Amino acid sequence: MTADQRRLIRDSFDSLREVSGPFVLLFYGKLFELDPGARPLFHNDIAAQGRKLMDMLTAVVESIDDLASMRSRLMELGKKHSEYGVRAEQYDTLTEALLWSLAQAAGADFDPPTREAWRMALHSICSMMKAGAA
């Protein structure tokens, strides 16, 4: 990722924090629309799960200049997710739902370069999590 792409992620995430509650609801709604079979994987209430999602996204954004520093944490998370029943192909659905939700939350600020930066970051994150699941 370029320095500009990392900046786009940080900038777009800063504005997302202000609407984290609605963002989380959009994300899970889209995720369950795209993959209704994913719903049983979530035993916690969505608000609690949403806080975990925002905490993880915050950690990723704070580490965006050295995403490899999160490798062991993401691999462990991937291992846990596989134990919960998450399948490798569901990471693509998660990425699609996150990109859609980010676009809804950011509106016109989620331009093609910002979308591509997030897509690249999410691809790296998912790859590390899949490696942990393997």
E runs forming strands in 13-63:
none
Question: Confidence band (pLDDT; 50, 70, 90) for 14?
Answer: confident
Q: Is the pLDDT of residue 78 over 80?
A: yes
Number of continuous H segments (helices) and E segments (strands) in the chain = 6, 0
The structural domain count of the chain equals 1
- The whole-number pLDDT of residue 50 equals 87
Per-residue CA distances from 35 to 8, 11, 21, 49, 86 (Å): 29, 29, 21, 17, 12
pTM of the model: 0.88
For residue 58, the domain's CATH number is 1.10.490.10
pLDDT at 67: 87
Print the domain residue range for 111.
Answer: 3-133
